[in-house]
Amino acid sequence: MKTDVVEQIRDRIDIVELVRQYVPSLKRAGKTYKACCPFHQEKTPSFTCSSEKGLFYCFGCQEGGDVFAFLMKMENLSFREAVEKLADMAGIEYQPAQQLTAEEQRRANVRKALDFARKYYHKLFFSRAGDHARAYVKSRQLTKETCEHFELGLSPAAGVLLREAKQAGYTEADLKDCGLCVQTEHGLREYFRNRLMFPIINQRGDTVGFGGRILGPGEPKYLNSPETILFTKSSVLYGLNFAGPAIRKADRAVLLEGYMDVIGCHQAGIAYTVAPLGTSLTSQHAKLLKRYTQNIIVLFDPDEAGLKAALRGALLLLEEGLFVKVASLPDGLDPDEYIAQYGKESFEKILDNAQELIAFALQRQLTLHPSLTAQAKTQMVTELAQIILIQPDPIVRREWVKYVAESLNLEEQLVLQRLEQMQRAKNFSNRTHAAATPSATPAQNTSSVEEELLSWVLKSPQHAVLCSELTEQNFSSPALWQILQALVKTHLAHPQETDLTNLTAQALPGQKNEIIKLALLPTPKDFDPARDIAACAAKLEQAGIQKKLQAVTRQMKTYGTGQVPPEVFQTYMQLQRKLKKYRS
């Protein structure tokens, strides 16, 4: 890997701008930027990044690093792949070295094998062998242009793909790694046979897997690739590679049920539609959508299973801070069937009139409780309050309270009271759980002072000399003492450097995340490097003296009155004088 290219990328790519492409809610907070973490579910922002340092860190899940680490985590890339993508973004010419690591070679082989299969399936679809597959898509009113656009394919009978792939130079290991073949007691066999094939392409345009619909009798009706090093169902949305620009332009995304729904909508010009891959919505799906829009419409089947699935998915999206509406089609029609019968304009009108989530949930409650007795209202408010509590936006939350109260002919204060009761119960449950967790020890409290000291020395290494009196005994954390030693040593080797984060992390690769966390800890508004570093060092020195004094005091008690050796008493008095200096 060419170090100069890596450094050029670090210089040209602003980590804040990179992160904002994936986390639009990123907002300035002093010298850094904050948002809810894209790598784990949270309601209070603990993710921070700094343009000045070129680093990010989450104080919740402890993920941290530079632009390369962020992209690798966000896009599931190897380091080499991240360098290639960032070099392209930065306009830097980059020729990767020919020598790949074993893992990089394996990923490259999987990607090539999937591309081979996609082209082979697509070619077969338009051959004589694909007559029955083309007849099926014709019955669903898909045009040839649409089939070519989505690269629909046909998986052949047993043995054909395996033979063709081996002739093209792919090994059995390659075919197993990419999920095209599985090992059975009868030997290796194709995973997909006699199915209409849908290439699954991620938002970067890479083929990561396939979906297959059975042609003729058989189960399951739809089958997805098994999860591989490139494919995780919970983090891919079908059609997003085509839908991204349309979602941004329309500022909304519509979640459908399956492949044919998405393809039919795109063919009709409604290209801001996507679908999960035969699985429930996940927080990863929500985070993926947040890169493109805050507004989501969930289109559901109007049966009981569809209602429950819609509500479940909508609540998950809501938790991630998205604005969610729900809609359904009449007569149980699929989107492509509805568009064929009533037209694109009518379909989009249904989307335009989609219900707010609270209205949808209230309508469901009214169906379950047709008689609005006092008891029924109590149960309904309790159910709806659970949804309102999930809503992170305080303005929307208050409007929802007002809506529920008016709809049930109740005083708004009664709904607010129930909301407050449930919030208190939730807080009590959280406190009870926290009480069962061991509380912070004095050593842990001291550790926060140690972290402040290291954070400030990282920001102002020219004042590292103020820590020269500190010893290992002053630190409750051996790891933090090790970082201070490395930091001081790095400063002596590079006295002109004003930020030692990367150099110190290189000296202690095992502590890299901790060092990044320290570098991104916020400083006080009135931060004075010399004053505050000296004060932190003094606190640690004082804590060390107190520990020594406590040990000597315990030792003196073992001798009894008048029996304390002079040298022990002398040590006691010296420590007392030192401690008095700090207290004066």
**CB environment 342-374: b (16+ within 10 A), e (fewer):** eeeeebbebbeebbbbbbbbbebbeeeeeeeee
pLDDT attached to residue 140: 92
Which of the residue ranges 263-272, 471-480, 564-573 would you say has the lowest mean pLDDT?
A: 564-573
Assess whether pLDDT exceeds 60 at residue 439: no
Which of the residue ranges 190-194, 260-264, 450-454 would you say has the lowest mean pLDDT?
A: 450-454
pLDDT attached to residue 430: 57
523-580 pLDDT tens trace: 777 788 888 888 888 888 887 777 777 777 877 777 766 677 777 777 777 777 766 6
Assess whether pLDDT exceeds 80 at residue 483: yes
Q: How many CB atoms lie within 10 A of CB 503?
A: 18
Domain ranges of the chain: 3-90, 102-231, 235-351, 363-432, 442-583
Q: Provide the angle, in degrees to the nearest 10, between the axes of the packed helices 67-75 and 3-12.
A: 90
Mean pLDDT of 355-373: 92
Mean pLDDT of 284-301: 89
What does DSSP assign to residue 62?
-
pLDDT attached to residue 549: 79
Q: What is the CA radius of gyration of the chain?
A: 31
Return mean pLDDT, the chain. 86
Q: Are strands 253-255 and 64-65 parallel, antiparallel or unpaired?
A: unpaired
Task: Give Cα 356 distance to the centre of its chain.
Answer: 26
pLDDT > 90: percent of the chain:
42
4-46 pLDDT tens trace: 788 888 888 999 999 988 888 888 888 889 998 888 877 788 8
CA pair distance 463, 534, nearest whole angstrom:
9
- pLDDT category at 581 given cuts 50, 70, 90 is low
Residues 6 or more apart in contact with residue 212 via CB below 8 angstroms: 155, 192, 195, 196, 197, 198, 222, 223, 224
Q: Residue 148's closest CA among 123, 115, 165?
A: 123
**What secondary structure does DSSP assign to 131-167, as a single string?**
HHHHHHHHHTT--HHHHHHTT-EEE-STTHHHHHHHH
pLDDT attached to residue 199: 98
Phi-psi region of 248 (alpha: psi -120 to 50; beta: other; left: phi over 0): alpha
The CATH homologous superfamily for domain 3-90 is Zinc finger, CHC2-typedomain (3.90.580.10)
442-583 carries CATH number 1.10.860.10 = yes
Assess whether pLDDT exceeds 90 at residue 406: yes
pLDDT attached to residue 477: 83
pLDDT attached to residue 528: 84
In this chain, the answer to whether the domains covering 102-231 and 235-351 adopt an identical fold is no
pLDDT attached to residue 521: 85
CA pair distance 396, 295, nearest whole angstrom:
14
- pLDDT category at 446 given cuts 50, 70, 90 is low
Task: Say which CATH class 235-351 falls into.
Answer: alpha beta
Cβ atoms of 56 and 19 within 8 Å: the answer is yes
Mean pLDDT of 139-168: 93
425-436 pLDDT tens trace: 877 555 555 455
Residues 6 or more apart in contact with residue 503 via CB below 8 angstroms: 490, 494, 497
Cβ atoms of 318 and 391 within 8 Å: the answer is yes
CATH number of 102-231: 3.90.980.10
